């Protein structure tokens, strides 16, 4: 979609990297949605793949979420979840992603009567197959839907308990406005007490105050998006001082009208301030591309140099929930790639 035009871009596309903000349900391409619908005897309310893709014309986060939840209805069996995961991991490996921490929304599925074990075991089977085929490493982050109640979140956590060994952490997603992190303070305290790291979407459409709440009330180890933090200079200073990773998703922000055009994105400002910025694809099937497409779109707007891309990839490893030894191995391979590409 965006042609490789310079050395820095070639390096950025080729460098090993981690993806830390990817909703597996948001990687459901129209082709797979129709294939699963056929397999499960479901009729989608669109004539064909092109008609579905034509509906990807969003003016807000909510307008996207309405379609995203509707399409998730085709996911019924462990095999469906495994196929979805494998399709994403194949694309990720092609973009030189060596590690992915992948969000899933169990409440979207359990509300339709799908057992949570079918969701987790299906996704996990896909992860194991992806590791065998492409050597890619991946783990799961269970996200709670913030438009639902905290009690609903507690029910989901209890349902997930037999599979906690498959869960690397917990997150918070869905409609941000009107659903501040404070609503989930007790639930996230419980998640942290289980010994798992927690992350939260904040400062995507919501105000910088939600980023502060995610840090202070939820104990978030990373902020998903956080791009509106620039509206509060004291918050940016804090993000830099505390080295809080931001999992930024440029094409998502463009498609959901957080910014009117890529040249107005706040990523360069956050990076220049010294924030621990990473680049991710969020819901690539809906937003016009996978991780390297996000890199190409950023490069077309901002013309970053190799040092900036190196910093972004290194941040992605440092911000991951992998072991320190594993991070050091990935960073060594990034260093080697920088030398090869010079
Ligand atoms: N960008 C996003 N923001 C909040 N919730 C989401 N769920 C999937 N994508 C999301
Ligand atoms: Zn997201």
2 inside domain: no
Residue 5 banded pLDDT, cuts 50, 70, 90: low
| Pairwise CA distance, residues 249 & 155, whole Å | 30
Query: Residue 167: pLDDT above 70?
Result: yes
- Full-model pTM: 0.97
Q: How many CB atoms lie within 10 A of CB 113?
A: 7
Ligand nearest to the CA of 24: 1
Q: Which of 228, 248, 223, 224 is nearest to 298 (CA)?
A: 248
341 pLDDT band, cuts 50/70/90, is confident
What pLDDT was estimated at residue 337? 97
Whether residue 76 is contained in a domain is answered as yes
Q: Is the pLDDT reported for residue 209 higher than 90?
A: yes
Q: How high is the ipTM of this complex?
A: 0.98
Which atom in ligand 1 lies closest to the alpha carbon of residue 68?
A: 8
Atom 6 of ligand 1, residue of closest alpha carbon: 174
| Listed residue (324, 183, 88, 298) closest to 200, CA to CA | 183
The mean per-residue pLDDT over the stretch 208-236 comes to: 98
Pocket test for ligand 1, best of 22, 24, 26 (most atoms within 8 A of CB): 26
Instruction: Tell me 281's DSSP state.
Output: -
Sequence-separated (6 or more) residues with CB below 8 Å from residue 114? 75, 76
Q: What percent of the chain has pLDDT over 90?
A: 98
Residue-wise pLDDT for 120-143, tens only, equals 999 999 999 999 999 999 999 999
Closest CA to 199 of 183, 181, 186, 179: 181
- Positive/negative CA dihedral, 303, 305, 309, 314: negative
Instruction: Give a yes or no: residue 141 inside a domain.
Output: yes
Please check whether residue 203 lies inside any domain of the structure: yes
Residue 303 gets the label, from left (phi > 0), alpha (psi -120 to 50) or beta, of left
In a domain, residue 221? The reply is yes
Q: How confident is the model at residue 70 (pLDDT cuts 50, 70, 90)?
A: very high
- The dihedral over CA atoms of 58, 18, 157, 164, expressed in degrees to the nearest 10, equals 150
Count of Cβ atoms closer than 10 Å to residue 260 Cβ? 9
Count of domains forming the chain:
1
User: Mean pLDDT throughout 282-297?
Assistant: 98
Instruction: Evaluate: CB of 205 within 6 angstroms of ligand 1.
Output: no
Task: Please report where in the chains the tokens 């007790």 appear, as a residue.
Answer: 186
The verdict on the CB of residue 26 being under 6 Å from ligand 1 is: yes
pLDDT at 50: 95
Q: Which of 323, 216, 292 is nearest to 17 (CA)?
A: 292
Cα 35 to middle of ligand 1, angstroms: 24
Q: Decide: 278 and 244 in contact? Cβ < 8 Å.
A: no
Residue closest via CA to ligand 1's atom 7 equals 174
* Percent helix, strand and coil across the chain, each to the nearest 5: 60, 15, 25
Q: Which amino acid residue places its CA nearest to atom 4 of ligand 1?
A: 174
**215 pLDDT band (50/70/90 cuts)?**
very high
CATH at residue 135: 3.20.20.140
Once rounded to an integer, what is the mean pLDDT over residues 223-241?
98
Q: Is position 1 within any domain?
A: no
Q: Does 89 reside within a domain?
A: yes
Question: Within 13 Å, how many C-alpha atoms sit on residue 306's CB side?
Answer: 15
| 137 C-beta closer than 6 A to ligand 1 | no
CA 15/CA 76 separation, integer angstroms: 36
Residue of 29, 176, 204, 205 marked catalytic: 204
Establish if 311 belongs to a structural domain. Answer: yes
pLDDT, position 200: 98
Kindly indicate the confidence band of residue 1, based on its pLDDT and cuts at 50, 70 and 90.
very low
Q: Over the range 10-24, which residues count as b (16 or more CB within 10 Å of their CB) and which as e?
A: ebbbbbbbbbbbbbb
Catalytic: 204?
yes
Is 218 a residue whose pLDDT tops 70?
yes
Output the pLDDT for position 333: 98
Please give the backbone phi and psi of residue 324, each rounded to the nearest 5 degrees, phi first: -60, -35
pLDDT tens digits, 24-64: 999 999 999 999 999 999 999 999 999 999 999 999 999 99
Q: Which two tokens stand for residue 130?
A: 């992806």
Q: Give the C-alpha separation, 158 to 232, whole Å.
A: 37
Mean pLDDT of the residues in the chain: 97
Q: What percent of the chain clears pLDDT 70, i.e. is strictly above it?
A: 99
Rounded to a whole number, what is the distance in angstroms from the first to the last CA of the chain? 25
Q: Which of 174, 204, 253 to mutate to test the pocket of ligand 1 (most atoms within 8 A of CB)?
A: 174
Residue 3, pLDDT > 70, answer no
Domain that holds residue 201: 7-340
């Amino acid at each position: 979609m965006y042609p490789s035009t310079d050395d820095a871009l070639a390096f950025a596309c080729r460098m090993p990297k981690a993806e830390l903000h990817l909703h597996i349900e948001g990687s459901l391409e129209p082709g797979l949605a129709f294939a699963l619908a056929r397999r499960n005897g479901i009729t989608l309310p669109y004539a064909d793949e092109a008609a579905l893709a034509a509906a990807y014309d969003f003016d807000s986060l909510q307008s996207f979420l309405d379609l995203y939840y509707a399409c998730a209805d085709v996911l019924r069996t462990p095999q469906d979840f495994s196929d979805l995961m494998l399709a994403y991991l194949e694309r990720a490996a092609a973009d030189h992603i060596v590690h992915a921490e992948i969000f899933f929304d169990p409440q979207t599925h359990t509300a339709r009567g799908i057992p949570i074990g079918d969701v987790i075991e299906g996704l996990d089977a896909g992860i194991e197959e992806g590791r065998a085929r492409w050597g890619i490493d991946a783990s799961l982050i269970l996200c709670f839907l913030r438009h639902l109640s905290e009690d609903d979140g507690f029910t989901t956590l209890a349902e997930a308990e037999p599979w906690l060994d498959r869960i690397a952490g917990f997150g918070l997603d869905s409609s941000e406005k009107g659903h501040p992190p404070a609503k989930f303070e007790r639930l996230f305290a419980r998640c942290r007490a289980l010994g798992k790291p927690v992350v939260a979407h904040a400062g995507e459409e919501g105000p910088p105050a939600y980023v502060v709440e995610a840090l202070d009330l939820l104990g978030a180890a990373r902020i998903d998006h956080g791009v509106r933090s620039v509206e509060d200079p004291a918050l940016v200073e804090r993000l830099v001082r505390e080295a809080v990773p931001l999992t930024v998703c440029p094409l998502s922000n463009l498609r959901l009208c957080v910014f009117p055009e890529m040249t107005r994105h706040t990523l360069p400002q956050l990076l220049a301030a010294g924030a621990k910025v990473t680049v991710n694809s969020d819901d690539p099937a809906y937003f016009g591309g996978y991780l390297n497409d996000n890199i190409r779109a950023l490069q077309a707007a901002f013309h970053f140099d190799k040092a900036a891309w190196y910093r972004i990839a290194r941040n992605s490893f440092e911000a991951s929930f992998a072991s320190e030894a594993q991070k050091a191995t990935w960073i060594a391979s990034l260093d080697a790639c920088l030398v090869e590409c010079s």
